[in-house]
Amino acid sequence: MKKLTALLCITALLCGCTSKNTNTSNTDTTASADATSASDTIDDTTGTTGPTEPAPTDPVLDSDPSEMIVLGETKDMTTVANLDWAKVYREALEDFKKSDKYDDTARFTIYDVNDDLVPELIISYGPAGNKTYLIKTISSGLYTQFDPITECDMLNYVMDRSLITTTRYRDDIQVMNIQLYRLKGKALANVGSFQRSNLAVKEDGVFVSEETFTQEYNHFISGFIKDIGEDHSFDDDVIKAALGEYDDWKDAFAAVLNDYLKTRKENDDNHFSLMDINGDDVPELFISGAYHYAPYVQVFSWNGCPVPVGSFGNSEGTIGFDEKNKEIYSKVDSPSYTAGSIYTFNDNYKLSQVFSYGDTENSKQQDENAEISYSVNGERTDKTSYQKAVKERLNDSLYILGMDNDLTEETIKDFKNGKYTEPKKKK
């Protein structure tokens, strides 16, 4: 599976995608295809590619379904007076907590994935690589509980397209399956699928070339990728915060911080920062987990409850904020590649990518014969154009977010009393 994983990691760079990376089992939660087929000829000076060969075939892909249907049960609640999503979801969370499915792997997310200003509830449980997800939604007075989505490595949300994606790996035959859905009303509509093995790729169940696969994948899956279903534990204080039952944002954020403190692992080095980046006079919360194998910064905003905006992978456990342009900077520096993105944060608590870049120069340290590639906004380019575009676009004068306060019981108490270290600008 190592070869396939390497291809997926490189594509995360070339597509300019980012995703939460808090699970120790995930080395890169943005799954995709290599941006250039192995059969292409590449001019490293111009970044151009030669003709591709016809799409190869691979028998193992025929054994995997290319379409996963998700059905659901809908309850008409239009006659319920003062229908409140928080009350409905509290009951669903309490029922799940009493079920035989509940264990210490269970997590949940409350987040608006269909842009109707009413959040969905997504519950996850099960071991890494074999998780089950439960999606519940309220729309126009109808409460829909979809059938379990099983045997998943991850469930992601593509902000640019309001798409839900499932990713499944078959280690035994080295196959990756990605299914795309869109939540509309009471329907979880099937949008399409992508499959990859070491030898071939499929789109919607049909063998295609690497070039076609990459173009179509990048069309649907780009920008900020958020994992869903795993933002919160089932701790009583966290549930109360997620449902908007705290009047003070400091109490709600403290519940989130305590949750991170309780689940901190042996090698974790957690910190947090607070800074208002959307101008609503309530700071956003930035929590970093800078352990060596999966660093990240998790961002929470406030709209009466903590909104789990998403997570940024970063080699230092920090992200940057350009106060003048109101832009968020994220960078990943791995042994194989370097990649960065710039985002804006909109009124719907979603991130829009405005610039991305990446190169594979680091791969030379692992393999002197490795091919070097450069990408700007998901498009291959030459080294000179790449360096010029990056130099013109990036700003070095940023607030560094995620590392200002150590995460301890004492600092959380101080925070609730309004005492914490504010972010500093990197000159």
Of 309, 311, 273, 315, the C-alpha closest to 290 is 315
In this prediction, residue 48 has a pLDDT band, given cuts at 50, 70 and 90, of very low
Rounded (5°) CA angle 329-336-54? 105
pLDDT tens-place string over residues 12-30: 444 433 333 333 333 333 3
Residues with Cβ < 8 Å from 279, sequence gap 6 or more? 326
Q: Are 250 and 418 in contact (CB under 8 A)?
A: yes
Query: Is the predicted pLDDT of residue 144 greater than 90, yes or no?
Result: yes
Average of pLDDT values for 76-99?
94
Contact status, residue 426 vs residue 396, Cβ threshold 8 Å = yes
| Chain segment 174-231, per-residue pLDDT in tens | 999 999 999 998 999 999 999 999 999 999 999 999 999 989 998 899 899 999 999 9
- Whole-number Å distance between alpha carbons of 306 and 366: 42
Question: Both tokens of residue 292?
Answer: 């060596």
Which pLDDT does position 46 carry in this prediction?
Answer: 40
pLDDT at 44: 40
pLDDT, tens only, 270-311: 899 999 999 999 999 999 986 655 678 999 999 999 999 999
Mean pLDDT across the stretch 113-135?
95
CB 343 within 8 A of CB 353: yes
Torsion over CA: 8, 10, 15, 18 (sign): positive
